[in-house]
Amino acid sequence: MESTAPQSPAGLRTTPSWLLSQAASHAARLLSEGFAAHGLRGYHYRLLAALAEDGPASQADLGRRCAIDRSDVVAAINDLAGRGLVVRAPDPADRRRNVISVTDAGAAEAHRMAETVDRAQQDLLAPLSTRERDQLTRLLTRLLEHHSRD
């Protein structure tokens, strides 16, 4: 009885929602292992990448761009600023706001982390051919488009 697979009930195991959640959890593990090597987490990268791509922004803006609650942005920016990857400065034009900008070190780190992310994708998709990867991406994109009509 030392059988192999300790998974869920058969009924669930073949269910698309279950497959999705399992696959997502493998992906998350790969990613967070990669991020850990940088001493950072997923949301740090999201913020850093958003800043590197679209330029400086207020914390609230950043939160909206990255779908991170503004209260959580505070702590994450503290971390990034503490490492010199990002600078927090009061906005002279609106004293309610802080302007967050990437430093050179931050841009470099963002670039390195992007490579880490790429490697994780390779690992994740290893068993699939290029064509199949495209298929998967296309299907998932269709799903998301449909389900994010607000």
Name residues whose C-beta falls within 8 Å of residue 148's C-beta, 6 or more positions apart in sequence. Answer: none
CB of 83 to its own copies, least distance (A): 19
Partner whose footprint covers residue 120, from its own copies, DNA, none (CB < 5 to 8 Å by kind):
its own copies
> Could you tell me where the beta strands, DSSP code E, fall in 1-143?
86-90, 98-102
Partner whose footprint covers residue 77, from DNA, its own copies, none (CB < 5 to 8 Å by kind):
DNA
Footprint on this chain of its own copies (rule: CB under 8 A): 4-12, 14-17, 19-28, 30-31, 45-46, 49-50, 52-54, 64-67, 114, 117, 120-121, 124-128, 132-133, 135-137, 139-148, 150
Tokens standing for residue 46? 């999201």
> Could you tell me where the beta strands, DSSP code E, fall in the chain?
86-90, 98-102
Cα separation, 84 vs 103, in Å, equals: 7
In the shown chain, the binding pattern of residues 76 to 115 toward DNA, with x for contact by CB under 7 A and - for none, equals: -x----------x-----xxxxx-----------------
